[in-house]
Structure formats: structure tokens, C-alpha cells
Amino acid sequence: MNLRQRIEQGFEKFGHAVAKRRLILIPLIVALAASLSSQAPRITLDTSTESMLRGDDDAKIFYDDFRNRFGRDEVIVASIQSSDTLAPEFLARLKDFHAALEEETPHLEEVRSLINARVTRGDNDELLVEDLLEEWPKSPDEWMRLRKFVLNNPFYRNLLISPDARLTTVMIETSAYSSQDPNIESALEGFEESEPESPPVFLTGAENNEVRDRVEAIAARFQGENFRIGLMGSPLIQSELGRSMQRNMSRFVGLMLAITAALLFSLFRRVSGVLLPLLVVAPAVSGTVGAMAITGTPLSAPSQVLPTMLLAVGIAAAVHILTIFYQHLDAGSTREDAIAAALKHSGLPVCMASLTTAAGILSFVTAEIQPVAVIGIFAPFGICLALFYCLVLLPALLTTLPLKPRKAKKDEPESDIIERILIAIGDFSLRFARPILSVVVVVIAISLVGAAKIGFGHDIMNWLRAGHPFRTATAEFDAHLDGSMGLEVLADTGRENGVHDPRILRAIDQISADLSTEPRRNGIRVGKATSLADVVKEIHQALNANDKAFYKIPNSRKLIAQELLLFENTGSDEMERLVDPQFSTLRFSARVPYVDPTRYRDFTDSVVQRLRDDLGPEIEIRATGFIPVMSRTINALLNSMVQSYLLALLIITPLMILLIGSLRTGLASMIPNLTPILLTLGLMGWFGSVITAFTLMIGGIAIGLAVDDTIHYMHNFRRNFTQYGDVERANRETLRTTGRALLITSLVLSSGFLVFTFSEMENLVEFGLLTSFTIAMAFVIDILVSPALMAIAYGNSKK
């Protein structure tokens, strides 16, 4: 008796043992499932841009530090269009809108608009910093002076108002920190600065949703024909993605259950065959989500596929066991003997398939994309949990429920038809083995050429469907101001009061001017660049009788320090957003239009390099904010794909050799495993698709799932070849006993991912189509190519 036969015999004994101890096992397993599943409702969502990166990623750490020092850079922008945004009637309505936002918006830091735009002026020797409309104009002359002042103010232009005065903006900045942050409470206990007791808790998704709901409600009240409000900004996109996830997940699971139920009924033609797989796998899905909640791991945009994926994978495992169980039950075996026979036949390949699927997805653990790494942890956990329930809970239920054999009916020819088709395909593959494999080689070569054309991207705006209000508002805003996105750069002098250096401020001011006048390149043009230099020029002009000739950087370091001190003494908090308390690091901000994030990297590098060249090597320059985080995410996608795919290959290949028990068959089995992935990558390359955080997962998921079909085919082929010693008979017997289950499980898996095409998010639609295509190709290749490989490997040899 060889090792495989001893393991199969062990599964047979295990089946008898489970059947005898079912009354003890069922309550224990139900208790375990209930304890894990009860935590599932506590799961949280995180769709922030920075959540795509690991907690120890240098770009994320630096971005979190930036928010700690300068506040949140991501703001909600209300772009308001009118025939004249400086008309008295419009400004009166804007004033009411501004006040409503300040009074009603939760978690608010500040609202900025023309109403409270900064005006810095001098009155004799006194420096005054006031709001633009602190005093409401009373006469036509005052209104005319206001119009002239606003349109000629370089700071307002392309930031608060368009040059043609047909669009103005209201910027709603929320607090960077959550109201749940314990450091806020401790900070209020005294006025002395101290180190935070724990890491800061940034604004949560639920709090961001509160802000969105209130802002949208206020905007709806003020919306009008000559007051057309469009809302935009990454906080709104993050909120929309989170809500879309919640709607999608319930929709996906519902569709998956309906499709699976139909497929299971078509296979088994009994209610128990529909209910039992769902009863066994559902606790594994909810238990996995519960485990995420227990460990404080949130669901993100990519990891929302986890419940549907686990449902599909777990049901596929249950199908293989139930198929053999019902065959033996209908043939007259007792339920206990039928369970033992099912586990003897399918226990080992089901375990092998689940372990290799888990191993394939485990490769995501090394991904630099945090949500993908999370899937690499919890998907294998869920798969193993589903395997445990399939091997223990399912047999226990089968022996407990009053199941009866089903007599075959004369008018049920479907099973024979399906078997005949599968066997005919297998015979065809054996007969034309070499031509089939030659065609596969050609297809792989064409796919590799296409795969070489694949790019990488992380375009979250295009996750939303065309015509979405946020996409429309962003496009309209950029058409007027070119500034929906922000690049933040910090210049660290390394010394206290280092930014008082007129050379540094003058260089930054010149770069700001140059960037604002440069033509559009690769779709990017700087709509507005701001920094401490703007404030310094305003102060200097104000303290020199408001003479425009003095709108420049002073030559004296001492004078700059004195003027900034006077500005701080006015009570303005503007400095907090522009420079650190020690005046050693200043913030440079550039507003640019939204484009495909892959275009931002060259732009960011050029800005950083220009600052380094002009400021000198002693000044440390580093970019952060939304754009650099997006660029880092795209780079992480490339690294993650290479690492994950290689690791999956290194894990699964030895497993296949070990589990199948043959070096020759194990290596041959990798051809049908890898070919579907290469086909998909080639298809993506030829059609211009890019690798995203979603499509990155296709390879790891597909190789894990493709292995399932291969394992079931190879395992049963070797068993039948050992028994019959003839390739053709072994292939026919394998397809007769296992082929139908392979077809149904492939349909279940393919349909499970196809439900993502009903998503509100375009990226999930693409992910669903491509993954479903890959799984379908895996089945086709397994029944068409695997027999050809066996014909080449074994020929017509007898045992």
C-alpha cells in the first residue's frame, strides 16, 4: 500500500469517526462558528488613499507626520458657478452658505471662501489681518472697489475665484483627528505641549460620512440656477467608495447565493444539496470577517472581494464531497458508509486543493499594498476554516439529517450527456495531444508579448462610473482652475528660524511664479502654487503703506523675522498651515488638475528637483500629500505583483510535486495552472488594461483556484492509472467521476466572481470579468490540455 492509499484509508476512517461522534461535534463547531461570526458586525471600513500602503511604509509615515504638523491636506471643495460671482446678490447667498457650513458641519476645522479670504493691510504703523467681507460694502463704489481688489489679488486668483469671475470655491477643511483620539482629551487637560500618549487616531470613515451627509444637505438647500454647486475632493470620493462597498457586498453575496443555489440544484436535484454547502460555508465567511473585526483590521476597497471569494471557494470544496456522497447513497450505501467513501475519494484532493489555494493567496502577505496583504492573511484563514467545516461539520450534518436515496428517473439524461461530452473532449485531447500542446505554446507566446505591454495604475476617480457627480464636478473645476488635486512639498532647513532666510523665500517664490506660468505638459498645469512667501510679500507691502512696489520678499533676514512676528501677533492662524512652530520647515503647495495618477510622478520629481537645485543641498526637500501617496501606491503595485507571483509559484510548485507524489506529473501540472493566468495577462496587455490593486490579485487568486481543478484531475488520474494501467481508460474514468463536479465548481467559482460585474465601481467590474474569464479558462485547459500532457508523459504504457 503506497502513501496515497494509506492517506485515503485514513480519510475513510475519519469519516466513520465523525459520523459516530456527530452529536458531540455539531454543538462544538456551532459554538466556534457563532463566537467568531458574532464579531462580524463590528467590522470597520477604510477607503482612504494612505490606507493602501502598509503602516511601516516610509511614504505613509511621512504623510502621517505631515498631517500631525500641518493638518489635513485633503479638503472638500464646493465649486460654485454663476454668471457673476462678485455680484452683491451672489455674495449675499455665498455668505449664508458659508455660515451654514460653519454652523452645521461636524468635525470641522475651517471653512475658507471669499467671505473670509485673508486681507493683509497696513494702517499707519499697525499691521491688520482681516476677512475680505468683514465689512459689507454699502455703496456701488465700494462694490466696484471690492471687485477690482479681488480680481487683481494674485493670491485669490485661481484659488478662490476664476479669472473670469464665473466660478468661486468654498474649501471645507475637516479636522485631521478623530473625536475618538485619546490624545485630544489629554491635550485639553493643560496648556503645556507634551508627547502624545498613543499614536494619533485620524478622522474615521464614519466621521467622514457624517461630514459628507451634512455638506451635501447644506449644498442641496442652497442649490439654484445662478448658484450651481458642485462638490468634489478626495474625502467625498473616500466616502462614496465606502458606501459603495457596503451596497456592493450585500448585493454580491445575494447574487452569489442565488446563482450558487441554482447551480447546486442543477447538479444534485435535491434541497439538501443546495442548503448544506451554504450552511457549511457561511460560518467560515462570517467567521473570517469576525476575525478581521477582532484584530481591528478594516475592510478596504480591494478586500471587499473577500466574502464572495470565500463563499465560492468553500462551496467548491463541499461540492466534491457531496458529489461522491450522493453517488454512494443513491447506490444503496448507508449514510455513514457513503460519508466514509466520499472522504476516501475526495478528502485528500479537497485538502490538497484548499491548501494550494490558500498557499497561492498567502503570497499576497508580502505585498506592499496593505489591503492586498490583508487578503493574503485572512483569505487563507477563511479557506482553512471552510475546509475544517467541510471535513467535520458537513459529514456530521449528513449523518444527522434524514436524507434518503434518490432513484434515477428515465427522463433524466442530462448527466449522461455531460459525461459523454467531457469524455469526448478527453478522448480528443489524447488523440491530438501534440497538436494541442503546440497550439498552447503559440498561445502562451502571444500572451507573453501582450503581458509585456501591461502598465500599472491607481486611478480612483475612474473607479466611479462615467457621469458620476463627483467626476463631473472635478472635470468642471479643473476646466476653470486646474487645481482639484494637491502636491505638498516640505523644505526642511534643519535649523530654527531657517525659513527667515530671504534667499530661500525668494527661490520658492520664483519657483511658484514659474510653475504657474508654464504650459500644460502631459495634461498637468499648475493652477496655483502657495507658500509662506505669499504671506511675507503681503506683510511687506502692508507695512510699506500698502504700496504694490513692495509686494516682494525683503532683503533682510531680521526684517522678515520681525514682520512675521507682527503677523502672528494679529491673531491669524494662517502660519500653522505654512510653517512649523520653530520656523525650520516650510510647506509648499501646488494645485494641479486630476489626471491619470501615473502622470504625476515625473511632475512631482521635476518640482522636487527644481527646489533642490535652487535651494541647495543643505535643505532637505520631500514631497507628500495625495499625489505622492498615489505615486508610491503605483510603484508598490509593481513590486507587489512581482513578489506575489514569484512567491506563489515557489510555494505551489513544490506543493504540487509533493501532494501529487510525482516530480514528472507535478511539473506537468503547472502548465495548466499557469496558462490561464498568462492568457489573462496577455488579454489585458493587448487591450490596454493596467494592473491595479484589484487586478493585481487575479494572478494569486487564479493560480490558487486553477490548481484545484488540476489537483482533482491529476489525483484521480493517477489513482485510475494505478488501477487500470491504461491512459485512455484512466482519463475516461477520471472525467466520468470527477468531470461533472469540476464543471459545477468552475461554474460556481466563475459565477461568484462574475457577480462583481454588477458593481457600482468600474474597477470591480473589470476585476470580476477578468477573474471569471481566468477561472473558466482554467477549467477548459484542465479538461483539454491535462489529458494531452498525460498522453505525452505516460504514452500508452501499462502499469
pTM, 2 dp: 0.76
pLDDT bucket at 100, cuts 50 / 70 / 90: very high
Is the pLDDT at 416 greater than 90? The verdict is: no
207 or 538, greater pLDDT = 538
305 or 119, greater pLDDT = 119
Q: For 599-658, write each residue's pLDDT tens digit.
A: 888 999 999 999 999 999 999 999 998 888 888 887 787 777 777 777 777 877 887 777
**Which triple of cell numbers denotes residue 579?**
510653517
pLDDT of 652: 77
Output the 3-class SS for 668-714.
HHHHHHHHHHHHHHHHHHHCCCEECCCCHHHHHHHHHHHHHHHHHHH
Weakest mean pLDDT among 11-25, 53-67, 253-267:
11-25
User: Would the CA dihedral through 64, 107, 486, 215 be positive or negative?
Assistant: positive
Beta bridge partners of 634: none
pLDDT bucket at 190, cuts 50 / 70 / 90: very low
As a whole number, the mean pLDDT across the chain is: 85
Question: What's the mean pLDDT in 424-442?
Answer: 91
CA angle, residues 216, 219, 221, in degrees to nearest 5? 115
Phi-psi label, residue 661: left if phi above 0, alpha if psi -120 to 50, beta otherwise = left
How many helices and strands in the chain, by DSSP H and E?
A: 27, 12
Residues 6+ apart with CB under 8 A from 739: 418, 419, 422, 423, 426, 783
- The span from the CA of 9 to the CA of 16, in Å, is 11
Q: Are 715 and 348 in contact (CB under 8 A)?
A: yes
CA angle, residues 518, 519, 520, in degrees to nearest 5? 125
- The span from the CA of 794 to the CA of 612, in Å, is 66
pLDDT of 438: 92
Q: Are 70 and 175 in contact (CB under 8 A)?
A: no
- The span from the CA of 220 to the CA of 42, in Å, is 32
Q: Which of 294, 279, 284 lies closest to 39, judged by CA?
A: 294
Question: What's the mean pLDDT in 125-137?
Answer: 91
pLDDT of 199: 65
99 or 486, greater pLDDT = 99
Containing H/E element for 57? Answer: none
Q: Match 459523454 to its residue by C-alpha cell.
A: 420
pLDDT of 132: 94
**Percent of the residues in the chain that have a pLDDT greater than 90, as a whole number:** 32
Is the pLDDT at 159 greater than 70? The verdict is: yes
pLDDT of 411: 52
Q: Is 778 exposed, middle or buried (0-12, 13-18, 19+ CB in 10 A)?
A: buried
Beta bridge partners of 110: 173
Question: What's the mean pLDDT in 117-131?
Answer: 90
- Compute the radius of gyration of the chain from its Cα atoms: 32
Is the pLDDT at 269 greater than 80? The verdict is: yes
Is the pLDDT at 182 greater than 70? The verdict is: no
Question: What's the mean pLDDT in 505-523?
Answer: 91
Q: For 330-341, write each residue's pLDDT tens digit.
A: 888 888 899 999
Residues 6+ apart with CB under 8 A from 155: 118, 530, 534, 538
**Which triple of cell numbers denotes residue 473?**
464636478
pLDDT bucket at 414, cuts 50 / 70 / 90: very low
pLDDT of 739: 81
Q: For 529-579, write each residue's pLDDT tens digit.
A: 999 999 999 999 999 999 999 999 999 999 999 999 999 988 888 888 899
CA angle, residues 83, 87, 93, in degrees to nearest 5? 95
pLDDT of 191: 40
Q: Which of 436, 517, 625, 613 lies closest to 154, judged by CA?
A: 517
pLDDT bucket at 367, cuts 50 / 70 / 90: confident
What burial letters (b/e) apply to 723-735, b meaning 16+ CB within 10 Å?
eeebbbebbbbbb
Is the pLDDT at 21 greater than 50? The verdict is: yes
pLDDT of 32: 67
Beta bridge partners of 112: 171
Residues 6+ apart with CB under 8 A from 440: 671, 675, 781, 785
- The type of residue at 597 is P
Q: Which of 323, 104, 92 lies closest to 224, judged by CA?
A: 92
**Which triple of cell numbers denotes residue 206?**
464614519
**Which triple of cell numbers denotes residue 369?**
499594498
Output the 3-class SS for 614-645.
HHCCCCEEEEECHHHHHHHHHHHHHHHHHHHH
**Percent of the residues in the chain that have a pLDDT greater than 70, as a whole number:** 93
pLDDT bucket at 381, cuts 50 / 70 / 90: very high
Q: Which of 329, 316, 333 lies closest to 280, judged by CA?
A: 316
Question: What's the mean pLDDT in 173-191?
Answer: 62
Q: For 44-89, write each residue's pLDDT tens digit.
A: 777 777 778 888 889 888 988 898 888 777 789 999 999 999 999 9
**Which triple of cell numbers denotes residue 431?**
488523440
Q: For 674-725, write each residue's pLDDT tens digit.
A: 888 889 889 989 988 888 777 777 777 777 677 777 877 887 888 888 888 8
pLDDT of 187: 46
pLDDT of 408: 58
pLDDT bucket at 135, cuts 50 / 70 / 90: very high
Is the pLDDT at 41 greater than 80? The verdict is: no
Question: What's the mean pLDDT in 154-176?
Answer: 92
Q: 531: helix, coil or strand?
A: coil
φ, ψ of residue 304 to 5 degrees: the values are -65, -15
Greatest alpha-carbon pair distance for the chain in Å reads 108
pLDDT bucket at 750, cuts 50 / 70 / 90: confident
238 or 116, greater pLDDT = 116
CB neighbours (10 Å) of residue 262? Answer: 13
**Which triple of cell numbers denotes residue 105?**
458641519
**Which triple of cell numbers denotes residue 446?**
502571444
pLDDT of 192: 47
Q: Are 457 and 597 in contact (CB under 8 A)?
A: yes
pLDDT bucket at 237, cuts 50 / 70 / 90: confident
pLDDT bucket at 188, cuts 50 / 70 / 90: very low
60 or 199, greater pLDDT = 60
pLDDT of 189: 47
